[in-house]
């Protein structure tokens, strides 16, 4: 499952729910228990990595040109023809959500209409 959201001036997205956020599966909020998602990982895999390492092949993050490149990569390598993007995250300002939708529609998805 692909999901996308906008963070700052970049589009964000992810392919699965395995990553618990920039801090990994551990809760960074005092009094909130860790999700312990890492216990479901295959042997040898861990969340003890930088966000960039965790995001690789899990999230589509970047400006519209990078997002276009990543979607094209999924199409070429895996034959992906359908994606689901999550563009709104809890606490996101509505204007940022709407801007994300516009960016995705006007700067990203239009590139794939002819293909």
What total of structural domains would you count in the chain?
A: 2
Burial 87-98 (b: 16+ CB within 10 A, else e): bbeeeeeeebee
Answer yes or no: do 63 and 112 share one domain: yes
pLDDT at residue number 101: 94
Answer yes or no: do 97 and 114 share one domain: yes
Answer yes or no: do 100 and 112 share one domain: yes
pLDDT in tens, 43-78: 877 777 787 777 777 788 889 999 999 999 999 999
Answer yes or no: do 7 and 47 share one domain: no
From residue 76, alpha-carbon distances to 5, 8, 96 in Å are 23, 28, 30
pLDDT at residue number 93: 93
Instruction: Taking residues 25-32, report their average pLDDT.
Output: 53
Residue 49's domain spans which residues?
Answer: 20-56
Answer yes or no: do 10 and 66 share one domain: yes
Instruction: Taking residues 3-26, report their average pLDDT.
Output: 42
Burial (CB < 10 A; 0-12, 13-18, 19+), residue 74, is middle
Distance CA 5, CA 88 (A): 6
pLDDT band at 7 (very low <50, low <70, confident <90, very high): very low
Instruction: Taking residues 5-27, report their average pLDDT.
Output: 42
Answer yes or no: do 24 and 52 share one domain: yes
pLDDT at residue number 52: 78
């Amino acid at each position: 499952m692909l999901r996308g959201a906008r963070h700052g001036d970049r589009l964000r997205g992810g392919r699965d729910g395995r990553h618990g956020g920039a801090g990994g599966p551990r809760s960074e909020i005092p009094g909130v228990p860790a999700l312990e998602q890492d216990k479901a990982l295959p042997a040898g895999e861990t969340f003890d990595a930088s966000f960039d390492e965790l995001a690789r092949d899990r999230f589509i993050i970047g400006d519209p040109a990078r997002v276009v490149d990543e979607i094209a990569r999924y199409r070429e390598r895996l034959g992906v023809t359908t994606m689901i993007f999550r563009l709104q995250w809890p606490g996101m300002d509505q204007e940022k959500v709407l801007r994300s939708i516009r960016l995705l529609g006007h700067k990203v998805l239009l590139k794939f209409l002819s293909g």
